């Protein structure tokens, strides 16, 4: 017995007492060593681009009366009620809509679907709603299905003229505006005289440290390009550089208090800032509390943008999604929706429909902009994925450091 036991006695080194510390140290260095040598060089990522040939989708709309849609929060009238727009759609078409409020941020949503769409897999969604620049990026990546215009007669008839051919999707092959908005200037009329131009906003001494700009590159740079006299729809790299220098100069002068997202609404409401670059929908909300907050169309022009409904690759209910998109281009439906969400309604004829349900809203230029407002709107040049990244990068470096 004892002999046998001796035979299986482990070698000396192994039997030596091992302290917790040295085990951990040994294990971690060993693992790090392995990691460093082997794993790191095996890393790297595949490209995420797809094309019609590389990623084919199937449409089961005929047999499955359903559609799954991801939208931004508070961007539709109540979805649970039978007499609301979505309820009526479900009743009249028999298509069940699974509505998700899971788009909070373009970049974050991109992160959510990136792995599936990059690998040509289903995201579980038939339709989602994203802002112009992100829609442009996804078109560039080949992640979207082309829409069938035959299913979109209301869209053909009623889409607002200014939104018909954006630079990044000139024939609206892939995208249908859901709601639109304007980017311009908001100011507090109780505290300061009208801020009529962007040049004024970034140079007026009373506004030093009392104004903000948006941290969305496309919005802010559109105005910088306009200030230096370039055309935001068609500009050169040199003009981009000049516009960027202008922004840096404005920032370094201490004029800009912050670059913000939606937070500017609080600062404007509390009086921390007197004027800012602003989105029309937010200003409309602010005006409910404080009528002194005004929205102006800057002399240089203003940005007209949309959040767009898109159908991703591998979505299996494209025709159903198209029916849903088209349904919201019926002026009556569009008016009902616009009365609730207070953004710019992209549907011609909805204004007339609105006079029947809410006459005061029908007069509001921030929901139904008049021709003077619309005559001076611009969209941003369509960018390739590389340009988009480069410009975002340049912009972030100026506002970030």
Partner 1 sequence: MTSSAGAPSVAPELAPDGDASSPPRRRRSSAWFLLLPGALWLVAFFLTPMVQLVATSLYDPSGSEETGYAMTWAWGNYVDALDFYLEPFVRGFAYSAIATALCLVIGYPLAYAIAFKAGRWKNLMLVLVIAPFFTSFLVRTLAWKLILSDNGFVVGIAKTLGLIADDGRLLATGFAVVAGLTYNFLPFMVLPLYVSLEKIDHRLIEAAGDLYSSPAQGFRKVTLPLSMPGVVAGTLLTFIPSAGDFINAQLLGDTTTQMIGNVIESRFEVGDYPAAAALSVTLMVLIVAMVAIYIRRAGTEELL
Report DSSP state, residue 35. Answer: I
Q: Which residues contact 187 (CB under 8 A, 6 or more apart)?
A: 194, 195, 274, 275, 276, 293, 294, 296
Q: What are phi and psi of 214, to 5 degrees?
A: -85, 145
* Residues numbered 81-110 forming contacts with partner 1, rule: CB under 8 A: 107
Q: How far apart are CA 363 and CA 368, in angstroms?
A: 7
Neighbours of 87 (CB within 10 A): 16
Q: What is the C-alpha separation between 11 and 15, in angstroms, rounded?
A: 6
d(CA 175, CA 177): 7
> Shortest Cβ distance from residue 375 to partner 1 (Å)?
33
CB of 154 to partner 1, least distance (A): 34
DSSP of 235-286? --HHHHHHHHHHHHHHHHTT-EEEEESTTHHHHHHHTS-SEEEEEHHHHHHH
259 touches partner 1 (CB under 8 A): yes
Residue 273: which of 217, 219, 216, 192 has the closest Cα?
A: 192
Residue 155 beta carbon to partner 1: minimum distance, rounded to whole angstroms: 29
CB of 89 to partner 1, least distance (A): 35
Q: Is residue 192 a contact residue for partner 1 (CB under 8 A)?
A: no
Minimum Å gap between C-beta 244 and partner 1 is: 14
Report which of 308, 309, 333 is spatially closest to residue 91, judged by C-alpha positions.
333
Query: Per CB under 8 A, which region of 34-42, 57-65, 174-182, 280-288 contacts partner 1?
Result: 34-42
Radius of gyration (C-alpha) of the chain in whole angstroms: 27
Q: Which of 65, 251, 294, 323 binds partner 1 (CB under 8 A)?
A: 251
Stretch that binds partner 1, among 39-47, 94-102, 124-132, 325-333 (CB under 8 A): 39-47
Residues 109-128 interacting with partner 1 (rule: CB under 8 A): 114, 118
Mapping DSSP to helix (H, G, I), strand (E, B) and coil, where does residue 183 land?
strand
Residues 6+ away with beta carbon under 8 Å from 23: none
Q: How far is CA 257 from the centre of its chain?
A: 24
Please work out the total of residues on this chain that contact partner 1, with binding judged by CB under 8 A: 55
CB of 257 to partner 1, least distance (A): 5
Of residues 8, 53, 150, 288, which one binds partner 1 by CB under 8 A? Answer: 8
233 is a contact residue toward partner 1 (CB under 8 A): no
Which of 209, 229, 241, 291 binds partner 1 (CB under 8 A)? It is 209
Q: How far is the CB of 77 from partner 1 (least distance, A)?
A: 28
Q: Look at residues 384, 382, 396, 387 and name the one whose alpha carbon lies nearest to residue 217.
A: 396
Q: Does the protein bind partner 1 through residue 372 (CB under 8 A)?
A: no
Distance (Å, whole) CA 203 – CA 194: 14
Query: Are the beta carbons of 313 and 143 closer than 8 angstroms?
Result: yes
Rule CB under 8 A: which of 295-354 touch partner 1? none
Q: How far is the CB of 107 from partner 1 (least distance, A)?
A: 6
Q: Is 12 in the site for partner 1 (CB under 8 A)?
A: no
Residue among 140 and 181 whose Cβ is closer to partner 1: 140
Q: Smaller CB distance to partner 1: residue 348 or 399?
A: 399
186 part of the interface to partner 1, by CB under 8 A: no
Q: In the complex, which residues of this chain contact partner 1 (CB under 8 A)?
A: 1-2, 5-6, 8-10, 15, 18, 23, 27, 31, 35-36, 39-49, 107, 114, 118, 140-141, 209-210, 251, 254, 256-259, 263, 266-267, 270-272, 385-386, 389, 392-393, 395-397, 399-401
């Amino acid at each position: 017995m004892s002999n046998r036991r001796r035979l299986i006695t482990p070698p000396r080194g192994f039997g030596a007492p091992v302290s917790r510390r040295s085990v951990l140290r040994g294990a971690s260095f060993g693992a790090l060593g392995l990691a460093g040598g082997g794993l790191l060089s095996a890393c790297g990522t595949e490209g995420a681009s797809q094309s019609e040939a590389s990623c084919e989708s199937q449409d089961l709309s005929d047999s499955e009366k359903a559609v799954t849609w991801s939208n931004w929060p508070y961007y539709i009238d109540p979805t649970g009620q039978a007499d609301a727009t979505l309820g009526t759609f479900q009743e009249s078409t028999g298509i069940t809509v699974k509505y998700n409020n899971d788009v909070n941020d373009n970049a974050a949503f991109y992160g959510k679907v990136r792995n599936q769409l990059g690998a040509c897999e289903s995201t579980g969604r038939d339709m989602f709603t994203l802002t112009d620049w992100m829609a442009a990026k996804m078109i560039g990546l080949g992640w979207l299905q082309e829409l069938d215009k035959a299913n979109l007669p209301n869209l053909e008839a009623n889409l607002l003229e200014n939104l018909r051919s954006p630079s990044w999707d000139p024939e609206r092959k892939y995208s249908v505006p859901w709601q639109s908005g304007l980017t311009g200037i908001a100011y507090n009329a109780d505290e300061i005289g009208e801020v009529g131009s962007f040049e004024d906003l970034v140079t007026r001494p009373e506004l030093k440290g009392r104004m903000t700009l948006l941290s969305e590159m496309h919005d802010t740079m559109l105005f910088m390009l306009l200030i230096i006299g370039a055309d935001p729809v068609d500009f050169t790299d040199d003009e981009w550089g000049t516009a960027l220098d202008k922004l840096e100069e404005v920032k370094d002068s201490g004029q800009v208090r912050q670059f913000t997202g939606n937070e500017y609404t609080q600062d404007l409401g509390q009086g921390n800032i007197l004027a800012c670059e602003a989105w029309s929908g937010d200003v409309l909300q602010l005006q409910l509390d404080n009528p002194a907050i005004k929205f102006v169309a800057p002399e240089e022009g203003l940005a007209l943008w949309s959040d767009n409904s898109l159908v991703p690759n591998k979505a299996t209910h494209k025709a159903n999604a198209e029916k849903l998109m088209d349904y919201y281009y019926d002026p009556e439906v569009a008016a009902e929706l616009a009365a609730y969400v207070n953004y710019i309604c992209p549907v011609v004829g909805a204004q007339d429909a609105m006079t029947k349900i809410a006459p005061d809203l029908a007069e509001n230029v921030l929901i139904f902009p008049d021709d003077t407002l619309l005559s001076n709107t611009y969209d941003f040049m369509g960018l390739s994925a590389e340009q988009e990244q480069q410009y975002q990068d340049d912009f972030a470096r100026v506002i970030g450091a």
